[in-house]
Structure 1
Amino acid sequence: MERLQQIKRRAIIKTGKFLTRTVDRILAAQSLIGDAPAFDPAQFDWVRILEQNYEPIRREAEQLLKERALIPAFHEVSPDQKRISKGDHWKTHILYGFGRRIETNCRRCPETARVLEQIPDMMTAWFSIIDPGYHIPPHRGPSKSFVVCHLGLIIPRERDKCYLRVADRKLHWEEGKCFVFDDTFDHEVRNDTDETRVVLLVHVARPMKPLGQWVSRAMLALIKASPYFKDGVRNMRKWEDRYAAALKRMENQPVATDA
């Protein structure tokens, strides 16, 4: 029975990938910002909102690093990411997933959640934490319905050894600055340093002509109906409960006092 479910799942994913690539050709033609691997951040008014609030967002990221053991690896939330997320080296503190607010996580990062609520058509957002020496292999995102923004928060000093390659371009993070790209292009991440890299990753709806907006809404509905999304929601709920229980234990620990 389990093997049958795995075969069915693989078939759904394979069909879904074919469908998304076909739809992406339509969305590329409907895009109001073109179809480049990366974009000028100045094209997007909401980038200023993120950059102007860099300091409070970074402070919350620093606090999360102290609770690193409570944060799931990417593949522990989304099993489909096992090919690119190995071991415990890529942590994801998810705040929003395709429009769904993760309440426990947002309460831990209230300032970041407040900033995200100001971004029109924001779909997904999480803190992405990558260990020293880790490499995320080449892969592609699910849809051209949105663009991806990274706000640099904690960036290794050897910036030339820590980068995102998208198509034929290398994008280097800078603390307090954003870059925006299309993750349906082949891309990978390298952190060939001895320091941790932390960014706030945000998916925002791509500006589209009317037909593109309609197709994007239909595509998003299909994604939400897929195992890719449903498994992620189910796993995230488990981590929410585990996270909340761990935090409650921490809060209830007696405070040491001098004799």
Structure 2
Amino acid sequence: MSADGKGFSDLRRKKIKKVGKRLFRGSLMDFLSSQSKIPDTPVLDNALFPWAENLRAQWPVMRDELDALLERRAALPSFQEISPDQARISTDDQWKTFMLWGFGTRMDFGCELCPQTAAALEQVPGLSNAFFSILGPGKHIPRHRGVTKGLVRCHIGLRVPDSPERCLIQVDDVDCAWEEGGMFFFDDTYPHEVWNETDGYRAVLLFDIERPMGMPGKAVSRAMIAALRRTGYFRDALANQRAWEERYRAAMA
């Protein structure tokens, strides 16, 4: 693509993103909130998700598969390499990712390398996104918000430094510290911020699920996600993911 073409594409994506955020965070967000079958709070009780404990209990095998990936940590992509929109909150190489699902699309390469994690995730109702999220020492992710109330986010701690007061996420005004084998759910449309002020690495399994809602809300949310999948926000990220997979596969050969 020419420089002019890329510039036009970037401008179009920014415009679409701006309009999309205005739409998702306006009346549609209020509508989805009204349709929710669970509380509209920053952090949610694990007991609201009956399947969660069975998933959480499988964290040791998830960590084993993560550890195998971390042997080649430098080769893992930074988040903004896959999703350029993340460059507004992270520009260095201290936030690494390893994708397993993206807006309902199974990333076969990632799932082949992490078959037990993939098998566990396949049992999760309404799974949308899933990836290993790895923060390097000293990493800070500034305050930001997700775009849709139609999803709920979960973290399962896999590798966590020993200092919980120096490695945490704040969702709205609620501080959540990770624990290895611990799990918590939160609504990422609330402003949230992340710190790893330690010398160690923090790694979690991050995944998004459909928010339990009444049928009108569920239908609207799914239509919103389907529309998002047709934009550069998703399509560019998918292309970047496929390109990275090819490079990684070649390096492994």
TM-score, shorter chain, exceeding 0.5: yes
C-alpha distance in 2 between matches for 1:60 and 1:241? 20
Task: Quote how far apart the aligned CAs of 1:8 are.
Answer: 2.1
Partner of 1:94: 99
Within 5 Å, which residues of 2 pair with 1:63-82? 63-82=68-87
Partner of 1:114: 119
Amino acid of the residue matched to residue 98 of structure 2?
H
Partner of 1:13: 17
Task: Quote how far apart the aligned CAs of 1:45 are.
Answer: 1.6
Contact map agreement 1:50 1:151 (CA 8 A) in 2: no
Amino acid of the residue matched to residue 190 of structure 1?
W
Contact map agreement 2:167 2:177 (CA 8 A) in 1: yes
SS where residue 55 of structure 1 aligns?
Answer: helix
- Alignment partner of 1:235 is 2:234: no
Task: Quote how far apart the aligned CAs of 1:90 are.
Answer: 0.2
Within 5 Å, which residues of 2 pair with 1:91-240? 91-240=96-245
In the alignment of these two chains, the number of paired residues is: 248
CA RMSD of the aligned region, Å?
1.0
4+ residue stretches of structure 1 with deviation over 6 A?
none
C-alpha distance in 1 between matches for 2:51 and 2:95? 26
Residues 174-218 of structure 1, C-alpha deviation per residue, up to 9 Å, x if partnerless?
111100000011001100111100000010110001111111111
C-alpha distance in 2 between matches for 1:124 and 1:4? 28
C-alpha distance in 2 between matches for 1:117 and 1:4? 38
Q: 1:49 aligns with which of 54, 62, 74?
A: 54
Task: Quote how far apart the aligned CAs of 1:7 are.
Answer: 2.5
C-alpha distance in 2 between matches for 1:63 and 1:9? 36
Task: Quote how far apart the aligned CAs of 1:102 are.
Answer: 1.0
Q: Which has the larger radius of gyration?
A: 1
Contact map agreement 2:145 2:191 (CA 8 A) in 1: yes
Contact map agreement 2:104 2:128 (CA 8 A) in 1: yes
Return 5+ residue gaps in structure 1 as ranges.
249-259
Amino acid of the residue matched to residue 6 of structure 1?
D
SS where residue 82 of structure 1 aligns?
Answer: helix
Task: Quote how far apart the aligned CAs of 1:99 are.
Answer: 1.1
C-alpha distance in 2 between matches for 1:241 and 1:61? 20
C-alpha distance in 1 between matches for 2:209 and 2:52? 11
Task: Quote how far apart the aligned CAs of 1:243 are.
Answer: 1.3
Work out the percentage of aligned pairs sharing the same amino acid: 46
C-alpha distance in 1 between matches for 2:252 and 2:193? 33
Contact map agreement 2:13 2:233 (CA 8 A) in 1: no
Relative to the length of structure 1, the TM-score reads: 0.93
C-alpha distance in 2 between matches for 1:175 and 1:79? 30
